[in-house]
Structure 1
Amino acid sequence: MTWEVLSMIGTIAFAVSGAIVAMEEEYDILGVFILGIVTAFGGGAIRNLLIGVPVSALWEQGLLFQIAIIAILAVFLFPANLLKQWQKWGNLFDAIGLSAFAIQGAIYASNMHHPMSAIIVAAVLTGIGGGIIRDLLAGRKPVVLRAEIYAVWAILAGIIIGLKITSSPWELYTLFAIVTVLRVCSYTFDWKLPIRRIEHY
């Protein structure tokens, strides 16, 4: 049940995030739907390929596709006077999607009895895969490649799931809230990882 709830939360959040980016780039309605769907399901598709789940499993998520389409349509029809807040809401929905999908991906790999390394990879790919595809299709530098802390939170979620520190639903929802808050703090307070610059002579 927890896995299904996280799947729904992540799907809605990333579908909305993709739709918001598409609208910022002035895509037409078809482009908004395509980018929203790709953002919502891209990370899961990449994860499935790498941990041995058949690609066809993606097409068995009919309910999630319907939820994503409804979420995208709701965003597209959102009142025009609230469009000024898109950047703030886009970041928030991206944080929610990152957290929900990272935990969901880690649970998926853990339930398949994969080692810790695979659980972390599944968490990262599920959490950031859709966002990377979204940014690339929108012609943007992927968020995960910036100095701002992003993928680290997916890695943290994967480690915690892999160590079986959390198991009950309320513990998983608490982890979801913590990862979301950490991601929001990282872009609000501009937390960054160390960078190394190369001087050009």
Structure 2
Amino acid sequence: MIDWIYFFDLCGTSVFALSGALAAGRHKMDPFGVIVLASVTAVGGGSIRDAILGTTPVFWIQDPNYIIVILATVLLTLIFVRKPKRVPRYIFPVADAFGLALFTIIGAEKALSLELGGMIAVVMGLITGVGGGIIRDLLCQQVPMVLRTEIYATASIMGGICYTISLYWGAPDMFALLFAMATALTIRLAAIRWHLSLPAFDLKTQQK
């Protein structure tokens, strides 16, 4: 029987590696830079999660398939995406949205498998979903996407909540997984399409 959680984890790794590789292409990095940025984007959030939960060595050290997936994704990106400027602008945020949805559920499931509470599962899903992207953006000397664009972290939080509540109500694992992923992905894609955002905290200081 297919281990769907593991399958989606590898898919999320590939999608986030693609996101990192595309970001590297936009910043005209060399192949080594592409590998580094793809790697930290793909495994950064999960590594932070495992360090917090104390499940060490972290997942990609225990299972080299994650590194193989990252390298294969980078290789295919370098071969088929020869002209980064010609890549449609929507590809990067859409790929990132899929990675966010996938990794949110993976992080929440990891916490629940350790018999932690639902709130911790949602937080771990959020860290797994946004951690790699934060590292990617910082290396690119940009304000992290989670802090500067349309609804992002909220999509991850809602996905984690849907996943934990679905399991609490006794829904089948596959239904909970797909429902939560669809929720997070729909919210994020809607935010991209219609530029939806939460109200900004605008603290204006009095001019002297």
TM, length-normalised to structure 2: 0.90
The CA distance in 2 between the partners of 1:67 and 1:95, in whole Å, is 19
CA distance in 2, matches of 1:160, 1:135: 28
Q: Note if contact 1:9-1:96 (Cα within 8 Å) is conserved in structure 2.
A: no
Superposition map of 1:1-201 within 5 A: 1-80=3-82, 83-163=85-165, 164=167, 165=169, 166-200=171-205, 201=207
Tell me, yes or no, if the aligned pair for 1:106 and 1:157 is still in contact at 8 Å.
no
| Residues 70 and 183 of structure 1, relative CA distance in 2, 3 Å threshold | same
Moved more, 125-134 or 70-79: 70-79
**Does the aligned pair in 1 maintain the 2:163–2:179 contact within 8 Å?**
no
For 1:67 and 1:79, how far apart are their aligned partners in 2?
17
Q: Cα offset for 1:52?
A: 2.0
Higher relative contact order (CA 8 A, sep 6+): 1
TM-score (norm 1): 0.93
CA displacement at 1:141 relative to structure 2: 1.0
Contact 1:51 1:118 in 2 (8 A): no
Structure 1 residue 162, shift from structure 2 partner? 2.3
RMSD: 1.7
Alpha-carbon distance, 1:51 to partner:
1.6
Instruction: Work out the CA distance in 1 between the residues paired with 2:53 and 2:164.
Output: 15
Percent sequence identity is: 30
CA shift in 2, pair 1:74/1:112, >3 Å: same
